[in-house]
Structure 1
Amino acid sequence: MTPRLSQHRLLAVALAALAVLIAVPATALTLKETPSLAGRVGVDLPPVGERVPEEPLVVDLVARGRQIGTPGGHIDTLIGRSRDVRLINVWGYARLVGYDEDLELRPDLLKDFIEEEGRVFTLVLRKGHKWSDGHPFTSEDIRFWYEDVALNGELQPSGLPQFMLAGGEPPLFEVIDETTVRFSWNAPNPLFKPELAKSRPPFIYRPAHYLKQFHARYGDMDKIAKLAEEKKLRSWAALFNKMDDMYDARNPDLPSLQPWVRLADDSERRFVLHRNPYYHRIDKAGQQLPYLDSVVMTVADGKIIPAKTQAGEADLQARNIGFSDITILKQGEKAGRFDTYLWPISKGSQISLLPNLTVADPVWREVMQDTRFRHALSLGIDRVMINKVLYLGFGTAGNDTVLSRSPLFRPEYRDLYAGFDPDRANELLDEMGLTERRGDGVRLLPDGRPLEIIVEATGESQEELDALELVGETWREIGVKLFSKPSQRDIMRERALSGLMVMAVWSGFENGIPTSEMTPEDFVPVRGDFLSWARWGNWYETDGQTGEKPEWGPAVRLIELYEAWLVSSSHEERTEIWHEILRIHAEETIHIGLVSEVRQPVVVKNLGNVPEEGIYGWDPGAHFGIHRMDEFYRK
């Protein structure tokens, strides 16, 4: 039975009901049939008015400075490996709630998202919304995910994910009606809403009508066992998880809510993704999105993708091309009949040096945890020179932190201890007592070893290795010797966790454009895969079972702030927490960033509505997703 509603909740529900009354239904627009689907109407498809929800998401392109497009056509893009077909579910970016280009969360698949006290969330679906196979998308699809998938110990042996817990407790889940569900926690849960908008979201809904046939509670176990045997799987749970493929796009039979869907499993080299005829968005001219009929992804060796792009073989390309390819792409624009846009990359820094604050060697640990040492290393880097040499001056010299586009940005976060000042760097190292030098000028550690820093790298990026050479040149002026050591990602993580790594080079914070509503997880030691404090993160992640309890003051404070954010209930409170976290990073120089806002080439061939100036990143950008790839059209 539904619990009695509080006055606050009654008001929220009443406002939602009012919104339903004043919303513009699909029938208020003159819907136009998509030309490529017209021949199927009456054969295997109903008319467009019966395919879109009763209240579809109507996009106002003109108000956003874009054009109403013409439906039809396809685009070609290149991918470096067959599993990258899953990017169609990233770029399509149909989410329950999603970020707009101002980094605000808006209902998308949902008609409404009602939040109360930061702990009660009512999700309202669009009446008449359908999966790509025409079956209704209802609250049963969310109930099925929560009760039959997420809470099933055979399917999810690790239990509910963190975003579904508040104060360590699961929610009260209620089905209100066919289009309304509610998740209620006793404590605030600021992780829940932004998690739904990620590039790889948790998909807290499933096509129950399709997946129930593989579930032990609903399906024929004899048929399930036979199918599992055919696919060489050991259990019904393994079969279910294989068929439950919302992200990877490997099961063409699985219904979807994304703009393009895979309909056939006939190739590992060329993937054709077709328009979803039941997609929920329309433009103000009454045309159903996406504009493009299909997206064709062709697998090519990543090393030759820049050359193939220059030759005009891609209509939309950013994957597997980088800043170093800009010159040849610009030279090929006329012959290939394409344009090369330069979008700022949304990482906190293109390249970042990560001192390992949990290094096991006691001498190195004392040195690394001395703030003066990290300041000296940072002041000993000529970032302006690196920006000119590697990025032709297009980037921004500074720390690994939030970018100017983030509402949390302050200039001091980027600039503190980030200028080139070798005299001050030498003073700081002298203050630490590192005054002894060997014959070639390299300083000596307190135990007499030379101050030689081995910086471990994946070896995947020549750009990183070139940057290390430039850093090494100016570090020599302050008596520090740098050696780069190519390695592999997994090995680097193992060495960081065991405390053997002294320093690593990596890209900066993945999300350099956060708002206060986004989790500060990347900026605090709560995960074991972060190379700058792997042992502390592992301790937090495993509840103290493994790793090492942090005792370094700034790390302890960062964890306190993170836990305060997890129970925060207001925008103002979360903003204050974020700023203290960013101040600690700036004052302590925990990461030594080099250059940020480096440009990502985005090749565009005869496509409209692709912004010339966008942002390129994973979260919250979803590469093209935040710019609404379903609105791109053939010119």
Structure 2
Amino acid sequence: MRKLLTTILLSVAMYLLGIASVLAQEALPPTQYATMEEYEKATGKKIVKFSEAPMLRIKVAAGELPPVEERLPEEPAVVLPVEEIGQYGGTWHRVWGGEADAWNAYRIIWQHIVKWNRDASKVVPNVFKSWEISKDGKVYTFHLRKGLKWSDGVPFTADDVMFWYEDVLLNKELTPVFPSWLTVDGEPVKVEKVDDYTVRFKFAKPYGLFLFQIDYGDRGDTFIPKHYMKKFHPRYTPMDKLKKMAKEEGFEHWYQLFGQKRGNWYIHNPEHPTIFAWKVTVPSPATRVVFERNPYFWKVDPEGNQLPYIDRIVFDLAESAEMINFKAMTGEIDMQGRGLDIANYTLFMKNREKGDYRVIMVPDKSIGAKTMICLNQNCKDPVLRKIIQDDRFRFALSLAINREEINELVYSGLGKPRQASFVKGTPYYSEEWEKAYAEYDPERANAFLDEMGLKWDKDHEYRLRPDGKTLSLTVELTEGWADALSLIKEYWEAVGVKTNLKVEDRSLLFTRTPASEHEACVWSMASNLLSTASGCILPLYANVVHWAPEYGRWHATKGKAGQKPTGDIAKAIELWDKLVVTVDEEERDRLAREIVRLEAKHIWMIGDAAEIPYVIIAKNNFRNLATIGSCETSPENFEAEQFFFKK
């Protein structure tokens, strides 16, 4: 009764909030112009002067910083505020789960060479102001911004890109395995400096997906501050000195010291220069991590105000997901969506006046499955491995799930029960895949298991494996998926598959799964094949695909490690490799749809529901927050630098 009441209240609240109209809105107009010249051509308006935050103006007056005109590049990017020109100042309070939740910070502050626009409909210029692609799709020439500077005032040039390429990527001690996303047909990219503000990426074969692949994870960091990091590199610093420095920091090798200075530097190393909008000043593992504005940030608003508007961001440590949601309800968070549970919607609404916040529901087209269950086809138990590799086993487990009930009880009726697949309105959506083995049919599930010869034990409690042992499956997950999996455990055990749930820290999960230590695990599935989703649905890399990490290792190492895939899995990987080098859009679409057809045929991942609105808590004075767009790389692609506190 309580869940039914919750569902009714949510439905009414969403109607009143106008969610239906939000869903109907079309693609967004430009929200960021690559240069002032581009902005002026598009709008007819001219930026004639620059302004800066009061805290920086004080430093300029004291002689601690040069004037804003000297700190900005010759061609700053122009960001259009969502609602209005903002006001400077304030501290943005958020909550995070610590080291394992590093992306909580990264997804706010990152600035890649290119970026997805707000609704993730296309890739647009960002750190690099423009590019050209050769007709054959092999050469990408990028143009940097003249006068762009690191947060310590040192110029950002092509040398910083070349340091990343020559001294890190090509150094075997720092990069034992060359990144597969920068290789085509086994041939690594070649990067060359044309001049101080031009670099060229040259591939052996056409690479039609290169721009789509860059703005994912930390791939867009195709630059490193050479003037800082060269102090820890043997090409520039004598090895004797490096060894001494490493020993003083408790390391045996120079590359360990380099990794310590560079690894997750944005939350760990205040000395590391950045071009992000905010820079860490109180690093993790402090219970309160603090970021402050970068005085050399290279974006302005239409009135010439240097961004960001907000002075600092703080991340307070929360020990559990429940604590994150509690802090949201009590008004301790200024703006956050990450970690908030849609099941708490009515509680969020009930406390909004007391907490002085509003509740925003953002339609999420970036997720193809809220719960994506990955059965490890490379698990180390040979008997279980053979069972998992049988399509009929995955079909049975999928048919055993009551998705309608999960949607009502876990997602408060807000999602759409479906298979793990691309959602409607995104490229390569397939109704066939969405519905494949997604109906609730335990009778048919039992028939598949019977057909496999998986007989019941004498008490008719669980089924038996071919070796006579109880058919048991351990599913590893983090805390956020516990509610859905507790129901799925019941469904699977009803058809005779004993299911053990192992809740663990995210960092442990992401250590065990690439090593193929798991039998099954849970994560969410992305819904953009050309960027984030490729690593979810296909075994391209060991550290991303949880349903076949050894196949991913084989693909990433070109057969030097891992296990060689066969059958339609090998065919799907082959199709992807062809798609990557295809510059013809029609052929690329054909290859993509063939991959989707194979996914629908085999159900390599099992999903429960998707299209669940993304809940965001924002203080009433926290403004310029978009209420439409893709959550795929949010809040960064919502231009966090233009958020502000209205006084």
TM-score by length of 1: 0.84
Distance in 1 of aligned mates of 2:285 and 2:449: 59
Q: Which moved more, 1:141-150 or 1:564-573?
A: 564-573
Question: Secondary structure at the residue paired with 1:91?
Answer: helix
Matched letter for residue 400 of structure 1: A
Distance in 2 of aligned mates of 1:353 and 1:59: 39
- Aligned counterparts, 1:370-409, within 5 A: 370-409=390-429
Distance in 1 of aligned mates of 2:348 and 2:36: 49
Q: What's the CA shift string for 1:197-232, capped at 9, x where partnerless?
A: 123235221222223333333346665454333323
Question: Secondary structure at the residue paired with 2:345?
Answer: helix
Alignment match, 1:49: 69
Alignment match, 1:134: 153
Distance in 1 of aligned mates of 2:603 and 2:555: 22
Alignment match, 1:93: 110
Q: What's the CA shift string for 1:450-472, capped at 9, x where partnerless?
A: 8x6533233643743x4344345
Matched, 1:629 2:645: no
1:521 equivalent among 532, 535, 544: 535
Distance in 1 of aligned mates of 2:385 and 2:163: 50
Distance in 1 of aligned mates of 2:369 and 2:199: 40
- Aligned counterparts, 1:289-308, within 5 A: 289-302=307-320, 303-308=322-327
Matched letter for residue 229 of structure 1: K
Kindly tell me the number of residue pairs found equivalent between the two proteins. Answer: 601
2:548 equivalent among 533, 552, 563: 533
Tell me how far 1:476 sits from its aligned partner. Answer: 6.6
- Aligned counterparts, 1:23-422, within 5 A: 28-42=47-61, 43-61=63-81, 65-81=82-98, 84=101, 87-103=104-120, 104-116=122-134, 117-156=136-175, 158-190=176-208, 192-201=210-219, 203-219=221-237, 224-245=242-263, 247-263=265-281, 268-302=286-320, 303-344=322-363, 346-358=366-378, 367-422=387-442
Q: Percent identity between the aligned chains?
A: 31
Task: From the superposition, tell whether residues 363 and 228 of structure 1 become closer, same or farther in structure 2 (CA, over 3 Å).
Answer: closer
Alignment match, 1:604: 618
Tell me how far 1:39 sits from its aligned partner. Answer: 1.8
Distance in 2 of aligned mates of 1:497 and 1:49: 48
Matched letter for residue 610 of structure 1: L
Tell me how far 1:184 sits from its aligned partner. Answer: 1.2
Distance in 2 of aligned mates of 1:263 and 1:378: 48
CA contact (8 A) 1:74 1:295 kept: yes
The answer for unaligned runs of 5 or more in structure 2 is 1-34
Q: What's the CA shift string for 1:427-481, capped at 9, x where partnerless?
A: 5556x3659666766686685958x6533233643743x434434555577x434
CA contact (8 A) 1:76 1:297 kept: yes
Distance in 2 of aligned mates of 1:126 and 1:543: 37
Distance in 2 of aligned mates of 1:484 and 1:602: 32
Matched letter for residue 456 of structure 1: T
Matched letter for residue 100 of structure 1: N
Question: Secondary structure at the residue paired with 1:393?
Answer: coil
Distance in 1 of aligned mates of 2:302 and 2:39: 14
Question: Secondary structure at the residue paired with 2:367?
Answer: coil
CA contact (8 A) 2:177 2:557 kept: no
Task: From the superposition, tell whether residues 241 and 557 of structure 1 become closer, same or farther in structure 2 (CA, over 3 Å).
Answer: same
Q: What's the CA shift string for 1:271-299, capped at 9, x where partnerless?
A: 22111111111111211111111112222
The answer for unaligned runs of 5 or more in structure 1 is 1-18
CA contact (8 A) 1:24 1:55 kept: no
Q: State the superposition RMSD in angstroms.
A: 3.4
Task: From the superposition, tell whether residues 52 and 370 of structure 1 become closer, same or farther in structure 2 (CA, over 3 Å).
Answer: same
Distance in 1 of aligned mates of 2:514 and 2:149: 47
CA contact (8 A) 2:418 2:438 kept: yes
TM-score by length of 2: 0.83
Matched letter for residue 124 of structure 1: H
Task: From the superposition, tell whether residues 236 and 566 of structure 1 become closer, same or farther in structure 2 (CA, over 3 Å).
Answer: same
Question: Secondary structure at the residue paired with 1:255?
Answer: coil
CA contact (8 A) 1:526 1:559 kept: yes
Tell me how far 1:392 sits from its aligned partner. Answer: 1.1
Q: What's the CA shift string for 1:528-586, capped at 9, x where partnerless?
A: 454433443344445445544333x2212112212212332333333222221122111
2:524 equivalent among 484, 501, 508: 508
Alignment match, 1:13: none
Task: From the superposition, tell whether residues 264 and 81 of structure 1 become closer, same or farther in structure 2 (CA, over 3 Å).
Answer: closer
